[in-house]
Amino acid sequence: MVLIVLALIRTRNLFGVIVLSGAYSFLMATVLVALDAVDVAMTEAAVGAGVSTVLLLGALRLCKSEEAKPAHRPWLPLAVAVSTGLLLAYGAMDLPDFADPQAPIHQHVVPRYMENEVDVPNVVTAVLASFRGYDTLGETTVVFTAGAGIIALLRRRKSGRGADGK
């Protein structure tokens, strides 16, 4: 994955970037499988490696395939990114160990989830759809809003194609 990220930074050909980010998503999916988060891994493989790659390729057909030279030096954004990363790493040091049964998150509501009054074998589904139904309703609405926004934006462009510039 580190190799892919380095290649992503170095590559200026956008087609290569898209293919590499698809490969990165697939590797990320395998990492998630290794962390026992199979549901998330499936989503990552299907959305990150599948649909978004296709969408980016579709967008690539609309623009040039070479990345333009950056307009200014990258030092300030780089400094912000590095310091944020260091802060996150510092914060992550205080987190409990991975899969530690004594971690606070496993002491709070998880016992009730695991008791499983819903009687659905996949606890992830039970939590998403039942215990946190409101969250999932909100997420579905967000997805719906994204689709509606796409329709609103691109439809208008199509009707006024004379000013499109392409």
| Number of Cβ atoms within 10 Å of the Cβ of 145 | 10
Location of structure tokens 């990220």: 5
> Judged by CB, which is closer to other proteins: 67, or 117?
117
What CA–CA distance (Å, rounded) separates 158 from 163? Answer: 10
- Interface residue list for other proteins (CB under 8 A): 38-39, 41-43, 46-47, 50-51, 54-55, 58-59, 61-62, 117-122, 124-126, 128-130, 133-134, 136-137, 139-141, 143-144, 146-148, 150-151, 154, 157-158, 161, 164, 166
Query: CB of residue 150 vs other proteins: minimum separation in angstroms?
Result: 5
Which sign, positive or negative, has the C-alpha torsion 34, 40, 42, 45? negative
Query: CB of residue 41 vs other proteins: minimum separation in angstroms?
Result: 8
Query: CB of residue 89 vs other proteins: minimum separation in angstroms?
Result: 30
**5, two tokens:** 């990220």
Which residues 6+ apart lie within 8 Å of 48 measured at CB? 22, 25, 26, 28, 29
> Judged by CB, which is closer to other proteins: 51, or 86?
51
128 by DSSP, 3-state: which?
helix
Query: CB of residue 18 vs other proteins: minimum separation in angstroms?
Result: 13
> Judged by CB, which is closer to other proteins: 94, or 119?
119
CA distances from 104 to 17, 78, 79, 111 (A): 40, 35, 33, 11
Query: CB of residue 158 vs other proteins: minimum separation in angstroms?
Result: 7
> Judged by CB, which is closer to other proteins: 7, or 131?
131
> Judged by CB, which is closer to other proteins: 69, or 166?
166
What CA–CA distance (Å, rounded) separates 141 from 131? Answer: 18
